[in-house]
Structure 1
């Protein structure tokens, strides 16, 4: 079923901070989508942010009409597309109401096998939230690791989580000292086979690493719940050869130092796609190396997703780094400014929908954010703040026709939403009592 869902702004926050919805984002405010996840029952969760940061405004400014602010917003939609609940968390101002959600960068969503919503962020912060968004069930907070300061480890779990068809958790874990930086950067990919609950967290078996030798670690950086060869990951113990070592010899002109891990996706219960991206430069990075590695649950790199050219298909244009996968049918997907790409489980490129074609040019305005358990693609519109749900046929040869139909339907459904919601500059405001803070 094709659906168009609005990323709703809570009217209470719009009124509290007197947000001018007609103002351009160049004035120092904005709305940004982060992630979308779907539950097996058809419900959808969206994670996005609203912020205002105006230079010259003091940090202790009390007038909420001009003060800087920032929130993460989570919205729950029914299988039919109705907004069921909206929750705000992680306020940027220290004197705002404290949030029970552990904040961090690169925040993502996942729906656990028992229906609990997991919100994860770097470094290794995971918060469990009731499916109806009514309350925080548990918080695993790694605490902040800073150079030259005493570090007391918190209760960490993962930086991101994906779920396989049988309920295994595909996790990334951040480590201190990656590429010799004095910060905590995503460096490990692993799988957990037990349930993550409010009272217990499973052991993550490390499968792959990015930097094989992070610097300046100590015993405080060991995590008992992340293991490799029976011992906690840290110091000199992590999977070797690292992904960067496996691909280093393929391009003598490109260095994988300062590369980074993208968010991996499960292509099957025992096969995963792990994206690795070379260093990003301020002056432009198109043509930089990237690898979508196929890694099994024994930690072996068995292949890759083939068929992308480093320049002509570069994900660095527009920073389109997301992958999605339908493990039920063994399909992997990637969307960037040059096309929508689909592979089979063997890593063979089966379809490219070229955005140079008129029918698919609108895809340049969307970001791929995930895949539902039924195999539908979830896209977010970068300017109109909507979610588009695109059904995918069983055979990838029909993907082009399915996407064309979804884009035509999107235009019609968006028109209906505009009449219902009356958005201002594509900002959809929800004024009901569904909103609360976590």
Structure 2
């Protein structure tokens, strides 16, 4: 199995904008790998964004070599890690950039600064999601965008209002586990993720299913009006909004259950991306307010919720300070519904749980055998039970085949990291990256 897979930039884009790959991100340009999704057949898709801010003059904007730009990229890989194709799309309708690589009104950019989530739907279509519950459907071969679901970026702007979800994951039976936003959380004027919901029908280019709300993070968003009702997000058959949403909320449950918690511990909390543990069970990250001076020790929880909206419990065995995900803001959860396992990686450890929430493993990242994991973000667990991690600065994917027994996870990770190091050395000789930026000129390039 290939352990190290580069996430490259297309050479045509680099040449068109005369990008200096040697420049540091602090100089106003950079690349981020945002998400990875794996199809049941084994193909891997990586979603990233690349940008440059030059703060130049109006004359500079007419020159592609000097102009600002921002693009969303989707790379497709064969199961063995071979790059098959790349799609590139403009990001934002207000960003003054040329349309050589696709315009924001036709690609993934309709109001998005960048797409942040990626999901392979049951029919093989890709769903790219972003802020404001914007969802864009892309064909599996990356040649076309077949549907847009979005809304104005501000609450009172005119324009089409047809949002869907900000995060999507699929269940084994093909249902969609989603999060959607609401206005008015903590008196904010923009959409913040607040509702965990599930669909009972498929999302297709011609059909958008209703979402059945299972849980809310915050019980009482303020200043709701009739205009804020979401006809496509239902609870007990009625649109979510005003004073109608699942109660008690997740933060109310957590405040009641945790004897040492105070009510204000969950003020200004946030909802993370849920993961599917099995067809009828999901895990939902919830974390408290992030402070500028540091948030290590703040409240966080990974809550188990059933497909009927019942609060089942939460993942155990994590210390608020010693295992805090606030260091580096590592709130990602990955789950393996085939084997009913749950995984989490932060700067202090790699954790594994059973579906009952009992911690089965903690690999301490201070151990030199696992220390390299501090540079990675956990993004996916494949249908074959492989963890996929992204190196935050070297733009490489790391695949780890998890063992049948979670007690053997440490040895599996150690072996994978050793193989990854060898493969990375070979890739550097082959690709000759500049400042850990990989550039490809061989795979087909599609402009969305």
* TM-score, normalised by the number of residues in structure 2: 0.94
CA deviations on 1:47-100 (whole Å, 9 max, x unpaired) are 111111234656973232232211111100011111111111133433432232
- 8 Å CA contact 1:105–1:123 kept in 2: the answer is no
Task: Report deviation, 1:382.
Answer: 1.1
TM-score by length of 1: 0.96
Q: Describe how 1:396-415 pairs up with structure 2 within 5 A.
A: 396-415=406-425
Unaligned runs of 5+ in 1: none
Work out the CA distance in 2 between the residues paired with 1:435 and 1:166. 33
Q: Provide the C-alpha distance between the structure 1 equivalents of 2:192 and 2:115, rounded to a whole number of angstroms.
A: 11
Q: Does 1:141 align with 2:143?
A: no
2:323 corresponds to which residue? 313
Superposed displacement of residue 152, structure 1 = 4.9
The separation in 2 between residues aligned to 1:96 and 1:293, in whole angstroms, is 45
Match of 1:381 among 361, 385, 391: 391
Matched pairs, number: 436
Aligned residue number for residue 110 of structure 1: 119
Q: CA deviation at 1:219?
A: 1.9
Q: For 1:172, which of 179, 199, 203 is the aligned residue?
A: 179
SS in 2 for 1:258: coil
Query: Whole-Å Cα distance in 2 between the matches of residues 83 and 61 of structure 1?
Result: 32
What secondary structure does 1:65 align onto?
coil
Q: Could you tell me how far apart the structure 2 residues matched to 1:104 and 1:231 are?
A: 32
Please name the residue that 1:201 is paired with: 208
Alignment of 1:269-308 (within 5 A): 269-308=279-318
| 1:32 aligned residue | 32
Give the match's secondary structure for 1:145: coil
> 1:45 maps to which residue?
45
Q: Bigger CA drift: 347-356 or 88-97?
A: 88-97
C-alpha RMSD of matched pairs (Å): 1.6
Partner of 2:323, secondary structure, is coil
- Determine if contact 1:59/1:68 at 8 Å carries over to the other structure: no
Unmatched segments (≥5 aa) in structure 2: none
- 4+ runs deviating over 3 angstroms: 54-60, 149-153
1:317-342 superposed Cα distances (whole Å, 9 cap, x missing partner) = 01111110001111000000001000
The CA deviation string for residues 177-226 of structure 1, in whole angstroms up to 9 with x for no partner, is 11111111111001101110011111111001112111222222222221
Helix, strand or coil at the partner of 1:22 = coil
Deviation track 1:207-252 (CA, whole Å, cap 9, x = no partner) reads 0111211122222222222100110111111101111111124212
Q: 1:371 to 1:433 in 2, by over 3 A?
A: closer
| 1:221 alignment counterpart | 228
Pairwise CA distance, 1:419:
2.1
CA–CA separation in structure 1 for the residues paired with 2:86 and 2:25: 23
